[in-house]
Amino acid sequence: MKFPLMRNNILREDLDAVIEYLKRDDPILTHGANVRAFEAEWSQWLGVKYSVFVNSGASANLLTWLYCAFGIRRAGKSSFPLLRGFPTWPQCCKMDSRPVFADIDPRTLAMDTARILAKIGDRTRAVFLTHVQGFDGLTDDLLHELDRRNIPLIEDVCESHGATHNGRKLGAYGWISNFSFYYAHHMSTIEGGMVCTDDAEAYQQLRMLRSHGMVREADDPLVRTAYQRANPELNPDFIFAFAAYNCRNTEIGGIMGRSQLKRLDRNVKRRNANLLRFLKQIDPNKYRTDFKLEGAELRLNLILKQAG
């Protein structure tokens, strides 16, 4: 039996929403009101204060590195070790940071808590944990220890939308968390990603970093005013606070995201049910089947109950 690696999960209703928008007189196509609305709806779904919609999951990770690197430079340091799983460590090296790797727990495919804690040193500035293929990579021990040692957690949730730890969504635990909306993932904006945080300062800086480092992209007037006062000789519309990139998405991505978000919870349940169905058919003597599934099991039982 052959299963394709991925299928297009964009439905007619998503395309119709885009077409309806395109029929308007003079529709804005670049980043605009739909992007803002998608960011607000996504933040509410995830349970965080702020989200920044970008053009890929890799861009979400890139902006996070960039923000960290900026913070480090401000603190006068040239490099900092991050504990890291796959797959964006080349970006981290480019930022003059030194990643330190920790091996995984085969039951979650995420970095193993004991191995992370063993590698944390004086110069560790953050732990960057990737939740792989829908599994929950967090443990209470890890959260407790990072909190106790005051080390920020960055979560890459690009493959694990809707997965939970203790009933709370992954991506709501980290200081910053990143998602991808590439078309093989749980929902798609064609290409796209989201950087999420509760940190108001990080949010303002990430907004600027997404758009060439431009100060006018900050939506807090106090932040804009501070840069304008410090640079009175410059046109306020063209102050560049950092050397950054263009990682913006478009209104089409925003419309697709808003349309797809309505189906996300349903799709996550279906993926969990499929996984459990597969695992029950697989011979545990030949293949690994002892994954950490607590959240998924609970959700499947609920689905089966609802189905009668």
Ligand X SMILES: Cc1ncc(COP(=O)(O)O)c(C=O)c1O
Closest separation in Å from C-beta 264 to ligand X: 16
Q: Does 130 bind ligand X (CB under 6 A)?
A: yes
Q: How far apart are CA 130 and CA 138, in angstroms?
A: 10
- Reported as half-sphere exposure (CB side, CA atoms, 13 A), residue 101 has a value of 9
Q: What residue number has its CB nearest to ligand X? A: 57
Q: Does 180 bind ligand X (CB under 6 A)?
A: yes
Looking at 92, 158, 261, 268, which residue binds ligand X (CB under 6 A)? Answer: 158
Binding region for ligand X (CB under 6 A) out of 10-18, 35-43, 51-59, 256-264: 51-59
Q: Does 276 bind ligand X (CB under 6 A)?
A: no
Rounded to 5°, the CA angle 59-62-66 comes to 140
Residues 193-212 that bind ligand X (CB under 6 A): 193
Closest separation in Å from C-beta 58 to ligand X: 3
* Pairing label, strands 126-130, 153-156: parallel
- Reported as half-sphere exposure (CB side, CA atoms, 13 A), residue 121 has a value of 11
Closest separation in Å from C-beta 161 to ligand X: 11
Binding marks (x or -) toward ligand X, 137..156, rule CB under 6 A?
A: -------------------x
Residue with Cβ nearer ligand X (171 or 215): 171
Closest separation in Å from C-beta 156 to ligand X: 5
Nearest to 161 by CA among 132, 134, 188: 134
- List residues bridging with 82 in a β-sheet: 99, 126
The total of other beta-carbon atoms located within 10 Å of residue 32's CB is 13
- Reported as half-sphere exposure (CB side, CA atoms, 13 A), residue 267 has a value of 17
Q: Does 58 bind ligand X (CB under 6 A)?
A: yes
Q: Does 136 bind ligand X (CB under 6 A)?
A: no
Q: Does 56 bind ligand X (CB under 6 A)?
A: yes
Contact 202, 67 (CB under 8 A): yes
- Residue at 237: amino acid letter: D
Name the site residues for ligand X (rule: CB under 6 A): 56-58, 61, 87, 130, 156, 158-159, 180, 182, 193
